[in-house]
Amino acid sequence: MKLLQTIKNEWQLICHDAWLKALLFWLPVILAIAIWGVFSAGIARDLPIGVVDHDNSSVSRSLIRYYNASPTLAVVKHFNSMEHANAALREGSIYALVIIPNSLEKNTLLGKMPQVTAFYNSQFILIGKLINSAMLSAHGTYVAQIETFKNLANTRGNVKQAIGEALPISSQISPLFNANTHYGQFLVTAVIPAMWQIIIIATIVLVWARPLQNSSLEQWLAHLNFNEELKRLIPYILIFWMQGIIYLSVFYGTLQWPMHGSWLLLILAQFFLVLACASVATLFFFITLDVTRAMSLVAGFAAPAFAFMGVTFPTTDMPLLAQLWRALLPISHYITVQIQQVNYATTLNHSIGSFVALITFVSGLYIAKLLVEKRQRLNSLHEAKKEIIEKGCNL
């Protein structure tokens, strides 16, 4: 009954605290919708590129048509001079520039291997990779077509033999996971959990700091029963856990993104993630005993989490310091389980290390309790000394 009364009291406090209501209900939803909206297209198409055609022949125009036929590329500008082309590339109106040399057609027919030069903006790594891949594909296809036409004469019109001589070895490269290179599945499912971790930790810090609005720190600590106060976190943990389940339902239910593994393991990992974040927030607050300083720790700790999750940059290539930082982030261990379950459908044995890591974070609650008890002993000792000094003065 006491537990139910505690939960009821916290619920009433949530209903009267606008900031807590925002963090628990509408702010995560708005942020998630905004992030999904950015990547909802899923696949980047028609990235603008420019061309400087010094040859202006049938071969160069045909090559440009091959670039334009790629779903990734769109030849939006034809430049007469390099100055204008360079200016467009620097202004960002095009992502890449293709330079076709003089005598392309003539040298191609003579077999002199003319060189087509392309520059692309690799500042945007994902865009750069897409453009590079699309250009190589379009260029290779066109070159293979030219070689096939050349070989037709030698093979007496045998098309298959001409193609075989142009492409002596064919290849088939098939992606196993995220086969259509959908950026929503790749980024949204990682960005939202990273953002979710920040909201959980920040909210729990605010929950711990709320009694200080009506009491001094010393008075609150003097009467603080840590184990009893922990029960106040239960409604917040349950609400955040439900948020996680809703996110998963939207990703892999409503949006029908592929989900090959166990829902049970994924939902269980979310529960331990919420517990780990609550533990980290509790530890931050009782280390500082100041909401502003605790929030600063939250920002420094959780804000760069996305970069350390190993989604956009491989963990194996991170330096030791970055890997250690990654190990300190609860979301890193959760995202490992999510990727394993969503893509690989692994068993619990493969994810056991990540589960153990998440559970280990709960020890932060015990450390916070030790900090509270230490602070209470110091306060008691200080009060005793103060009382002795006052008695001595009275004598």
**How confident is the model over 116-170, as pLDDT tens digits?**
999 988 787 888 888 999 999 998 888 888 888 877 777 777 777 777 777 777 7
Greatest alpha-carbon pair distance for the chain in Å reads 123
Q: Which residues pair with 125 in a beta bridge?
A: none
Task: Name the token pair of 2.
Answer: 């006491």
Quote the pLDDT of residue 180. 67
Task: Name the token pair of 381.
Answer: 């000792």
Task: Name the token pair of 344.
Answer: 């690989």
Helix residue ranges, H only, 40-124: 58-69, 82-91, 104-110
Cα angle 205, 209, 212 (rounded to 5 degrees) comes to 175
Helix axes 189-209, 330-339, angle to 10 degrees: 150
DSSP secondary structure code for residue 118 in this structure:
E
Query: Which three-class secondary structure state does DSSP give residue 49?
Result: strand
**Which residues are CB-neighbours of 2 under 8 A, at least 6 positions away?**
none
Q: What is the pLDDT of residues 365-378, one digit of tens each?
A: 999 999 999 988 88
Which is nearest to 55 in space by CA: 17, 106, 6, 20? 106
Contact between 340 and 351 under an 8 Å Cβ cutoff? The reply is yes
Q: What is the pLDDT of residues 49-95, one digit of tens each?
A: 999 999 989 989 999 999 999 989 999 999 988 888 889 988 889 99
Identify the CATH number of the domain defined by range 47-154: 3.40.1710.10
Kindly give the parts of the chain with pLDDT less than 50.
none
CB atoms within 10 A of CB 281: 29
Q: Which residue in the block uniquely carries the two structure tokens 């310091």?
A: 321
Residues of the chain with CATH 3.40.1710.10: 47-154
Separation CA 64–CA 80 (nearest Å): 15
Q: Which residue in the block uniquely carries the two structure tokens 């070989």?
A: 151
The dihedral region occupied by 118, where left means phi > 0, alpha psi between -120 and 50, and beta the remainder, is: beta
Secondary structure E strands in the chain: 47-53, 73-79, 96-100, 117-120
Q: Which residues pair with 48 in a beta bridge?
A: 74
